[in-house]
A and B are shown apart, each in its own frame.
Chain A
Amino acid sequence: MENKKTALNSLHKKYGAKLVSFAGYEMPIQYSDGIIEEHKNTRENAGIFDVSHMGQLFIKGDETLAKNLEKIFPTELSNAKLNQSKYSFLMNEEAGIHDDLIITKVEGGFNIVLNAACKHSDLKLLSRLLDNKYEMILSEELSLIAIQGPKAVKILEKVINGVSNLKFMNGGTFKYLDEDIYITRSGYTGEDGFEISIKNKNTEIFVEKLINEGAKLIGLGARDTLRLEAGLCLYGHDMDINKSPVEANLKWAISKNRIREGGFIGFEKIKSQIEKGVSKIRVGIKPEGKIIAREKTSIFSEDDKNIGEITSGTFGPSVQAPVAMGYVENSFSKIDTKVFLEVRGKKYPANISNLPFYKKSYVKGVSK
């Protein structure tokens, strides 16, 4: 099947993108500057990401919708304020993760941003779980653009007045070229930034404006090194249908009230894992030397027992060292535990590490 193109396809080419097939889309892995420069530009300046392959689902509904979504998601939605975003999971009864997603309370319903590879199956599953009672629109008319980095707020504010008032994990409707655009203060890089939902036809001119104000296009390659340094999970790698949010060390994303009350899919399993603990858990791993441990690298204990597997690993351009995440047996998950990583038949020392590898504070309050 031919890959789909996003509204920025010709702009990607104009800026020297190396295009690859990703989740059914032709997407830029990098531009002419290369992954390391793009990564650094996001950390020091501002980067623009085309993430239009991701699913933007709108579920239209009255007050019963929040209650019904709470029967699915482990998140408090009935009390969500207008324009508030929450990180959540679509799980099965065993608390295995179908997808991780962001749910935002909007006028007349909820917006959900879904992973590209999961969006069509998520839509089917959600329609079934909601008994087809609500209108659901998986948009084909909207692009999703992220701008991330310390200068993101200044640059975006020049193009869209008022965005600097948004708080982290909150959104709002703004106007651009006489059309509504929806902007949230959020991202996937460990930097302050925004995600912008905008009509396809206005996307290119909007992004050119951001470029003129000093932001640079960043490909999926740097998006991966940025999110890994920030300790953020990539679906299909660091989490999947065989792992629960508790095992993925994302218990914080499940509200305490929901754990007390239950009534969502996967509750029994989550509750029992929280009470009894889990046998394996996601951790950060820092190799001692320069060796890069990629996905599927086996992890060994000091007495040479196989205790787990790497799920993501690369060289961290800001950390200036290799970084990785993976799952280990719970008894080896303490920070600074020494482990060994088997790369090309040799075992290399590494340490269980705190996440994130690279820390910069998100904007929590209002900034000007």
Chain B
Amino acid sequence: MSEVKYSKEHEWLKLDGEIATIGITQHATEMLGDIVFVELPDLGSNVEKDGNAGVVESTKAASDVYTPISGEVVENNQSIVDDPAKINSDPENEAWFFKLKIKDKSELDSLMNKDEYDKFSKESAS
């Protein structure tokens, strides 16, 4: 399994060959609070790096989900649509959002590794 990468919008990305699995980070769920609704991008749709790729809503507010890289949506996780609370309990494993067939591997270069992201999220929280 390859290294996990992180975006400034608090998404994580795990690469497996041409396929990237994407979700939101633990830090993001802590900021959002209890998640009660999620909307995922349609299967087969093409999403653009840093563009909208779904919505999560907590009891308090709605927030956009962005995709850290471009690609075609080849799978989306219906289990989190049925039970959005999973996103709070296991955001960086079971509660992934969608899988992309990636378009341009070089887009990965702008993402952070775990240490960089931890530092970034700590700074942006304060």
Binding site for B on A (CB under 8 A): 29-30, 34-36, 39, 221-222, 224-225, 290-292, 294, 314-315, 317, 322, 344
Contacts and interface: CB of A to CB of B under 8 A. Distances in A.
A315 B37 CA distance: 8
Contacts of A222: 59
A35 B34 contact: yes
Contacts of A36: 34, 36, 59, 85
Interface residues on B, range: 10 to 19
A221 B37 contact: no
B77 to A, nearest CB: 15
B37 A35 contact: no
Given A35-B33, A292-B36, A221 B55 contact: no
A315 B57 contact: yes
A230 to B, nearest CB: 15
22 contacts: A29-B60, A30-B33, A34-B34, A35-B33, A35-B34, A35-B58, A35-B59, A36-B36, A36-B59, A39-B59, A221-B33, A221-B59, A221-B60, A290-B37, A292-B57, A294-B61, A294-B62, A314-B59, A315-B36, A315-B57, A315-B59, A344-B55
A35 B85 CA distance: 12
B12 to A, nearest CB: 22
Majority secondary structure, A binding face: mixed
Please name the 10 residue pairs, one residue from A and one from B, whose CB atoms are nearest each other, closest first.
Answer: A315-B36, A36-B34, A35-B59, A34-B34, A292-B57, A35-B34, A292-B37, A314-B59, A225-B59, A315-B59
A39 B59 CA distance: 11
Nearest to B59: A35
Contacts of A291: 37
